[in-house]
Structure 1
Amino acid sequence: MRIFTVFCCLLLWSVNCRANEVIVSSPDGQVRVKLTIIDGEAFYGVIYKDRVFLENSPLGLVTNEGDFTSGLRYISSATGEIKDTYRQDRIKKSEVTYEANTLRFTMQNKAGRELSVVFRVSANDIAFRYELPAWESTRVCVIEKETTGFRFPAETTTFLSSMMTSMTGFGRTAPSYESGYAPDAPMEQNTSATGYVFPGLFRMGDRGWALVSETGVRSLYPASHLSAYQDGVYTVDYPTSDQNNGFGSTGAQLGLPGETPWRTITLGETLKPIVETTIPFDVVEPLYEPSRDYKYGRGTWSWIIWQDASMNYDDQVKYIDLAAAMNFEYILIDAWWDRDIGYDYMKKLINYAASKGVGVFLWYNSNGTFNDAPQTPMNKMNTSIARKKEMKWLKEAGVKGLKVDFFGGDKQETMRLYEDILSDANDYGLMIIFHGSTLPRGWERMYPNFVGSEAVLASEMLVFVQDTREKEAFYASLHPFIRNTVGSMEFGGVMLNDYLNRGNEKGQKRLTTDGFQLATSVLFQNPVQMFALTPDNLTGVPDFELDFLKGVPVTWDDTVFIDGYPGKYSIIARRHDKKWYVAGVNAEDKAKKLTLNLPMLAGKKVTLYNDSKNRETYRKEVKVSEKGELQVTVQSKGGFVIAL
């Protein structure tokens, strides 16, 4: 059930004739956005709780039909209110109420053409975009660049991940949003030539925090990122020309009237609004109806630990049996299945899985012309004719979903491919996971069969790279505040092998505890979780750990920030129906003793999964005080879960 009401007041603001200053505030009055035109240039600034969070920051577009960065003059402004209540089953909350005040600020350039910037300001959140009318006889334009910027106070430090260099990495598949983070870095250090991916987290000393991102990107626009820090400001950058092997425009081909995606800013004195925000979904709408009732859940996949050699019929049977033993809903059968198992035997595997109550996801290479990745099946997803033929077979065979890998960049051409795959898959009742991919930007609400993207330094790098294993806890402590707070994150984790290989005897040693691994099943949010268990774990792991994973949910009705600091530790609570889970990890070198404030569990007996000093994971029953307090010691590179 969805209720949506817009009250458009259409009231003109009083305007300062010299500076053309207009202000819009949040319903609670705590957030104020000021728009000005100074010497022909447009700016906005942000004040939160009477403290400056963004100094005058530039606004504007450059198009092939006109320049909207200089020579601007104020035309008009109009305000309104939005009240929106919606349900969403694949994000951090299932029921959302969104209330915002709106402002449409219209400007005119030297040629007499108009451009509006529309702001929606709610408690702790700002969303804004440009809206372009049809200009005289002009019905199309190309947006070549934006001057949209973010000018933070001088004391600001950053938590940013660099944009990967195009056409590098495995099979020339970059960029794929798989770089690390530099925590608490001064802005002057942010000199990456490639810029920084969304979202970006900023700490303004004792003023508070800001998270910057974008949402609502689809086939009508490229995805963007943050530029390097230059002249005191970060700006919105479009993809570079060498993405997608040089194919496709770097800007946006836009039909008029048209609009850009939303740029979003979440503000808070603490990290609580950052963790709990739903702004990526509040300002977008579903693009089509689901063709069936999609079922979310947990799954197994052999490739992550057993790798390519496991892509055979017998090993996949073992993993199907593992999924059935764990009460998991799915198995993911990864690359090379078409070559090493074949379509005919795959049908037998799918039928065998169905007899065990397990659904099948199959892996596909996205490529056609824009990468060199050799894994197959390939050339099945990149054109409409091939895609629909393949999806017809998949539906008839009983496949439930696809994992499509290796995308080539953020150009509008690639955004169109993402949307085409999702739309066609829905016609055939298939869910979609994207890997080697861009950040999802509101897609959980826009596309009903979208069930996650990687877009993170994920579990496969734990297998391949020692440095990533050493920093596993560090990255895990960041994701709830940055990457995972704006969209589903298909990490593919929960590794319970001591060594991340099939023999489990030597080699890639896991450096985190079992308690840490259990915690990430709650800490990381994604509606379809492919866990990195192996058949050996059924006998080599304590039963209570397996029992926990047999019952852990993948969809959530509420998410609450409890404590943490990005790069050090992270603790959040999630609720599924009436049951609460509290999960935390510690990235620091020493054990951390914490007193948790858990009002939702006050006076209740709960189950604690935690690590002892010798790093053995245990389970015990504890009681939360009547004040809602509970003391927990979290070991270095360890973690815990509290379950009601």
Structure 2
Amino acid sequence: MITSTSPLPTPVAVTELVEGDLTATLTHDGERLLLSATHNGAPAIDPIELGITVNGEALTGTGEITGIHQERIAETYTAYTGKATGTRTVDHAERHIELRSPRGTEWTLILRLGHDGLAFRYQIGTAAAIPTDTLTLGTELTRIPLEGAQRAWVLDYQTWYETPRVGVDLADLTPGDFGFPLLVSRPGGAHVLWSESDIDATNSGAHPVFTREGGPALLVTPADPTLSILAGHRTPWRVAIIGSLAQVVASTLVDDLAPAPSGPITAPRPGRAAWSWWSSQYSGAYLSDQKRFTEYAAEQGWEHVLVDCGWDETWVPELVAFAAARGIQVHLWSSWSDLDGAEALSKLERWRNWGVAGIKVDFMESEGNRRYRWYDAILRESARVGLMVNFHGSVIPRGWAKTYPHVVSYEGIRGAEYYVFYGNPLSAAHNVIQPFTRNVVGAMDYTPVTFSAPERETSDGHELALGIVYESGITHFADDPDRYRERPLANRFLAELPATWHETRLLGGDPDSHALIARRHGDAWYLGAIATGVARTLSLPIGELSGASLDIWLVTDGPGNTLEETLLSAHGGEAIEVPVAINGGFVAIAVPAGTPLLRAKPRAVLPEPAVEPRVATITAGGTATLHSEPGARIRITPGWSALPARDNERDWTITAPASASAGDTGVVTVELPGTDGVPRTAHARFVLPFGEGEHPLSDAPFLSCHNEVGPVERNESNGGGDPHDGTTLTVAGTTYPSGLGVSHNSAVTFFLGGSASTLRTAVAVDDETPDAAAQVSIEIDGTEHTRLTLRSGEAPHDLEIPVVGAHTLTLRTQPLDGAAPAHIDWLNPRLQS
């Protein structure tokens, strides 16, 4: 903010932009550039002081305006997800105000005005004007006054945006750091939602700091105090969505401002997903659990299943094939740090070649430029290989749904996962604010409809309505299938929800009271209402949706936190009074009279493609033959190759890379046409035999695996249910550097292919389970060879077992009747060839 001891000159108008009900005016008083806006002739944005610091120089209104250029931005793009899918039209007025500072620094203020809001950004010179190779971008001087605001809806700033959102009168707002998007109300009913758009690897994210110095205002504060930039650098758009609450909720301005795709487009498959982690945090380690949730997704007619932390690459292809037979696609969780760097990113191509459709990436938790460079890398690589992306522990949406359509959702919200860690972390008031703030700027993976959440204050109707009120490219319904089946009305309603929306409207409400959202797919409207506060009646203006008669299925809160249904009809102009419980809600489906109300169908189960062999050996640089059904598409582990036979449509020549080593496995994915765009899938594995010498099994791929408590751990004890949560393998106080950590009920199978002669290992109960016991056995080609009983505190049992000619080896543990469950260590297991 610029201060002066003498009165400033009267501001002079520089340029004006008009779009519909909005007018933006830029003025200049010799020292300041001031940007203001009106809505329907009334003040909406008081004069913003504009400026940026470059190389220590404050670029503000001092100096001179050297030119003003007017443009019309007219473009169309395809929205694959969001409030309204299909073709979107952008029609914005744009101005480039070119300036030169007293030191001769050239810079440009860029303004955009659309029918739903105003945006501005700074461009720092051009390469021709500033020959310096790099510049230093410093403090942003943007100051957004809030003297005319009445109330604000804010969240305390956190780089992953998971603090509660609250409403507060501006007079009571305490100075501090807040997060975008930030909503304020103005006299006369106008609202302004502040956020950002178009951030890439050259920038960092920003947040507003509220101050009362010089009057209430927001200071735009990037995460990096300084940033090295090149001449011609553009800052992200500072975005103000302006209008009535209905206009704000319907806005797509943040997406509209983002650039068009510059690389390959992976058209996503939006929809609904089953997700097991919320109801069972260790379930990602169990193939059986993932199959159960996949079967439920198929029963509901959904599109996806998300496997959270704990999955093992051994069984993911099997799950992909199981899901694909039902028209379901599989998504895998990963920490961002496991995908950091070119070598780590190569995993994405391998997963895609198994048939995996998407990834959920977690724990980024930063707005800094360094993290945005990581975002840029994973965005481009996931687009290249064809994976959908859902960011958790992440930034908020800033237009990537347009630039990278395969980004289907973000967290950036205190959502249902907080029930897992805290008793009552989510209030109905927090929920009601989201449709007017966070969800306006893009997809929001709240993971809704958690009926079994402990201590929740929301009603069943409120929980069910979150599936409509909140929008996400993929909506992960979080509760266990049995909890949904216990509520048949809810179960049926969740099946009826469509995969995409064609139109979104706010029919009523405000951030302090309730939100009544209507979303259309085809000729059907889906309505959801969530409320905070006392039980009361809400007016549903159903007649606003259609001038024709409508048949309606209404599901509301019943007595004792149950759900009840009502069938009724309505005509144009009518409104329906609907009772809601304390912190309650309701849902409805409205269709043209005489058309089916309930349309969902379960997914059929198709056969997997025939593939032969399913497992075989292959030498480094050598070839093998795969037999498939005619017309198959083949995906294969990167570095391997698959060439079709010249004389028939069934055979493929599989070649292993010359660099492959003993035990390496090439996974071949065979795809044939299926349903709903999901190919029927089967897999084959080609394994390099164990050559001469000794080979540690703790590093070798599994043919199959199962463990009762979390995943099988490599080179650490079993620990708990999460991956990599064990400690050093320890038996009777002695530690061991290598081995496999498993629980009391496990089976790990290796493919030997007749290439090994001897298994050597030791086995014992790990010290992390004292006073425990279990049985262990070793199976060769499915036949038990050795069985032992192990007890805590005993020294390891050393084993040397011949495996000449054997094709499979299984290390198995089983519980011992009457004994406490044990964690077992297979110590330094190795094969001799």
Give the TM-score category using the shorter length. 0.7 to 0.9
> Measured at CA, do residues 580 and 251 of structure 1 come closer, stay the same or move farther in structure 2, by a change above 3 Å?
farther
Q: Is the 8 A contact 1:290 1:449 kept in 2?
A: no
The aligned runs of 1:593-604 (5 Å cut-off) are 593-596=538-541, 598-602=543-547, 603-604=549-550
Per-residue deviation, residues 585-629 of structure 1 (Å, max 9, x unmatched): 111122233252542234211111111354321222111233242
Per-residue deviation, residues 60-109 of structure 1 (Å, max 9, x unmatched): 01012743036333322232333333331212122333322222222221
The letter of the residue matching 1:509 is: E
Equivalent of 1:477 in 427, 432, 436: 432
Residue aligned with 1:305, SS: coil
Q: Is the 8 A contact 1:31 1:49 kept in 2?
A: yes
Residue aligned with 2:447, SS: coil
Q: Is the 8 A contact 1:328 1:358 kept in 2?
A: yes
User: What is the deviation of 1:533?
Assistant: 2.8
Aligned to 2:667: none
> Measured at CA, do residues 292 and 454 of structure 1 come closer, stay the same or move farther in structure 2, by a change above 3 Å?
closer
User: Going by fraction, where is strand more abundant, 1 or 2?
Assistant: 2
CA distance in 2, matches of 1:587, 1:252: 43
Aligned to 1:398: 355
Aligned to 1:332: 306
The letter of the residue matching 1:483 is: R
Aligned to 1:349: 319
User: What is the deviation of 1:310?
Assistant: 5.6
Per-residue deviation, residues 439-492 of structure 1 (Å, max 9, x unmatched): 0100100102101000000110123223424x0x21221111000011110111
The aligned runs of 1:36-435 (5 Å cut-off) are 36-64=27-55, 66-69=57-60, 71-94=62-85, 95-134=87-126, 135-164=129-158, 175-186=159-170, 189-192=173-176, 195-231=177-213, 232=215, 233-239=217-223, 249-268=224-243, 270-308=244-282, 311-337=285-311, 342-367=312-337, 380-388=338-346, 390-435=347-392
CA distance in 2, matches of 1:394, 1:155: 50
Higher relative contact order (CA 8 A, sep 6+): 1
Aligned to 1:486: 441
Equivalent of 1:609 in 531, 555, 574: 555
Residue aligned with 2:319, SS: helix
The letter of the residue matching 2:195 is: S
Q: Is the 8 A contact 2:77 2:402 kept in 1?
A: no
Per-residue deviation, residues 280-338 of structure 1 (Å, max 9, x unmatched): 1112222335454421211111111111256322222222222222222111111122x
The letter of the residue matching 2:121 is: R
CA distance in 1, matches of 2:192, 2:498: 30
After TM superposition, the structure 1 stretch with the greater mean CA deviation from structure 2, 84-93 or 120-129, is 84-93
**TM-score (norm. length: structure 2):** 0.66
Percent identity, please. 24
> Measured at CA, do residues 293 and 265 of structure 1 come closer, stay the same or move farther in structure 2, by a change above 3 Å?
closer
> Measured at CA, do residues 393 and 598 of structure 1 come closer, stay the same or move farther in structure 2, by a change above 3 Å?
same
Residue aligned with 1:347, SS: helix
Per-residue deviation, residues 538-567 of structure 1 (Å, max 9, x unmatched): 64221x322221120232111111110103
Aligned to 1:13: none
Per-residue deviation, residues 166-212 of structure 1 (Å, max 9, x unmatched): xxxxxxxxx310011220332552312xx111110001233521111
CA distance in 1, matches of 2:405, 2:480: 31
After TM superposition, the structure 1 stretch with the greater mean CA deviation from structure 2, 559-568 or 619-628, is 619-628
CA distance in 2, matches of 1:381, 1:250: 27
Equivalent of 2:507 in 544, 550, 562: 562
> Measured at CA, do residues 537 and 81 of structure 1 come closer, stay the same or move farther in structure 2, by a change above 3 Å?
same
After TM superposition, the structure 1 stretch with the greater mean CA deviation from structure 2, 258-267 or 438-447, is 258-267
CA distance in 2, matches of 1:434, 1:352: 26
Q: Is the 8 A contact 1:221 1:253 kept in 2?
A: no
User: What is the deviation of 1:570?
Assistant: 0.2
Aligned to 1:465: 422
CA distance in 2, matches of 1:623, 1:526: 30
Q: Is the 8 A contact 2:465 2:587 kept in 1?
A: yes
1:32 pairs with 2:31? no
Residue aligned with 1:121, SS: strand
> Measured at CA, do residues 127 and 424 of structure 1 come closer, stay the same or move farther in structure 2, by a change above 3 Å?
same
> Measured at CA, do residues 188 and 103 of structure 1 come closer, stay the same or move farther in structure 2, by a change above 3 Å?
farther
Residue aligned with 1:234, SS: strand
The aligned runs of 1:497-512 (5 Å cut-off) are 497=452, 500=453, 508-512=454-458
The letter of the residue matching 2:555 is: Y
CA distance in 2, matches of 1:298, 1:523: 14
CA distance in 2, matches of 1:288, 1:77: 28
After TM superposition, the structure 1 stretch with the greater mean CA deviation from structure 2, 127-136 or 409-418, is 127-136
CA distance in 1, matches of 2:51, 2:410: 31
Per-residue deviation, residues 337-374 of structure 1 (Å, max 9, x unmatched): 2xxxx22122222222223332111110112xxxxxxx
User: What is the deviation of 1:159?
Assistant: 0.5
CA distance in 2, matches of 1:90, 1:614: 37
Aligned to 2:481: 535
The letter of the residue matching 2:99 is: M
How big is the alpha-carbon RMSD for the aligned residues of Structure 1 and Structure 2? 2.1
> Measured at CA, do residues 639 and 40 of structure 1 come closer, stay the same or move farther in structure 2, by a change above 3 Å?
same
Q: Is the 8 A contact 1:562 1:598 kept in 2?
A: no
Q: Is the 8 A contact 1:222 1:251 kept in 2?
A: no
CA distance in 2, matches of 1:535, 1:608: 22
CA distance in 2, matches of 1:581, 1:521: 10
Q: Is the 8 A contact 2:75 2:89 kept in 1?
A: yes
> Measured at CA, do residues 297 and 593 of structure 1 come closer, stay the same or move farther in structure 2, by a change above 3 Å?
closer
CA distance in 2, matches of 1:182, 1:433: 26
Residue aligned with 2:436, SS: coil
Equivalent of 2:528 in 562, 583, 592: 583
CA distance in 2, matches of 1:524, 1:309: 26
> Measured at CA, do residues 358 and 597 of structure 1 come closer, stay the same or move farther in structure 2, by a change above 3 Å?
closer
Q: Is the 8 A contact 2:397 2:442 kept in 1?
A: yes
The letter of the residue matching 1:147 is: L
Aligned to 1:633: 579
The letter of the residue matching 2:305 is: I
Larger Rg: 2
Q: Is the 8 A contact 2:80 2:405 kept in 1?
A: no
Aligned to 2:412: 455
After TM superposition, the structure 1 stretch with the greater mean CA deviation from structure 2, 62-71 or 422-431, is 62-71
The letter of the residue matching 2:314 is: D
Q: Is the 8 A contact 2:485 2:491 kept in 1?
A: no
Residue aligned with 1:601, SS: coil
CA distance in 1, matches of 2:266, 2:19: 38
**TM-score (norm. length: structure 1):** 0.85
After TM superposition, the structure 1 stretch with the greater mean CA deviation from structure 2, 395-404 or 153-162, is 153-162
